[in-house]
Amino acid sequence: MRTWVKMITAATTITVIVIAGTLIYFQYFARKRLMISTTTSLYDTGLLDEIEKVYEAKYLVDLNFISVGTGIAIQHAQQGDVDLTLVHSPSLEKEFLTQGYGVCRKIIAYNFFTVVGPTADPAGIRGLNVTAALKKISAYGGNQTSTWVWISRSDGSGTHTKEKSLWQTAGFNYTIISTESWYASGGGKMGETLLKAEQFSVYTLADTGTYLKYFKDGSITLEALITEEKELLNVYSVIAVNQTCHPHVKFDDAITFIKYLISDEGQQLIESYGKNDYGQSLFYGAVQLLKYNSTSQIVQWIENYAFINGSECPPQYIDNHPELYN
């Protein structure tokens, strides 16, 4: 009798182990995996970690983020290494769409770039607009013999693309100015660039989200000297990789993720992220704003800066998903 009891107990234990193992397998190894290339200015803030935690629990999909500059993020998407890309450079995004690699572009959020620098502000830019500030930084730098005054990411990222356009708007030839002795190139990712700017006590361009995180964490003491003006607008978009170019991509799953980001829940998550820790939102949701507040100034700024041929996604790139734009 005891032998039978032992055999039944052993069989029950084995069955429980097999069932548990099967559940673990399907939970962790058989789940869908979505590959997303993204900009470091989003990733470094921790927002994507929060989105990943909520989304994975709800949809049982593993989100895998590749955090690089926008230029490289788009290259990953062009090569079919990812299923979608989450970036912030309208000019590069336009090329991505028109070359046929991307579809279903949606603007999901915005904040602003900021010019940060040492509290002493040796170039005297505090209170100026960004064009006047860059002119003063250049003049100040020209009077230095061997000291850096400005550090750039110089990595083809969305932030670097914005920086180049700001120098050009201020009347400078970027190719020439980037070779000046006071201009330091190769800052690295956004967080790394901020740390180098802190180390050498120089100016740089940063997105507000990453700056606030590093400032509030005590990693840097740099001051945000110029903030929230039209020329410093920073707009984030998500784009699915075109399955016609890369049939292996998980296109339907990419669309599901886009729908989550533009949903009320997704937009609220974006909007509320950072409020408790930093005293303000690091990002502002753009979906409802664009849908219902067409006459507001910020909407006009977004349309002028980030729309492509008059819309966030020209009709030929909607790819049979008009529901994303209703």
Partners of 107 in the beta sheet?
237
Confidence of residue 146 (pLDDT cuts 50, 70, 90): confident
Quick one: which of 112, 170, 129 has its CA closest to 306? 112
Q: Is the pLDDT of residue 126 over 80?
A: yes
**Mind listing the domains of the chain with CATH numbers?**
27-111+235-325 (3.40.190.10), 113-231 (3.40.190.10)
Tell me the mean pLDDT in the region 97-121.
Answer: 97
Question: Mean pLDDT lowest for which of 66-80, 88-102, 194-208, 284-298?
Answer: 284-298
Percent of all residues in the chain with a pLDDT value above 90, rounded to a whole number: 82
- Looking at residue 19, its pLDDT comes to 45
Tell me the mean pLDDT in the region 309-315.
Answer: 96
- Looking at residue 326, its pLDDT comes to 81
Question: Judging by beta carbons within 10 Å of its beta carbon (0-12, 13-18, 19+), is residue 243 exposed, middle or buried?
Answer: middle
Angle at 167 between CA 110 and CA 186, to 5 degrees: 80
- Quote the pTM value: 0.86
Q: Is pLDDT larger for residue 119 or for residue 23? A: 119
Q: Residue 3: helix, strand or coil by DSSP?
A: helix
Tell me the mean pLDDT in the region 173-199.
Answer: 94
- Looking at residue 3, its pLDDT comes to 54
List phi, psi (to 5°) of 90.
-55, -35
Pairing of strands 61-68, 32-39: parallel
Q: What is the mean pLDDT of the chain?
A: 91
- Looking at residue 31, its pLDDT comes to 75
Q: Is the pLDDT of residue 10 over 90?
A: no
Percent of all residues in the chain with a pLDDT value above 70, rounded to a whole number: 91
Q: How far is residue 44's CA from residue 289's CA, in Å, rounded to a whole number?
A: 25
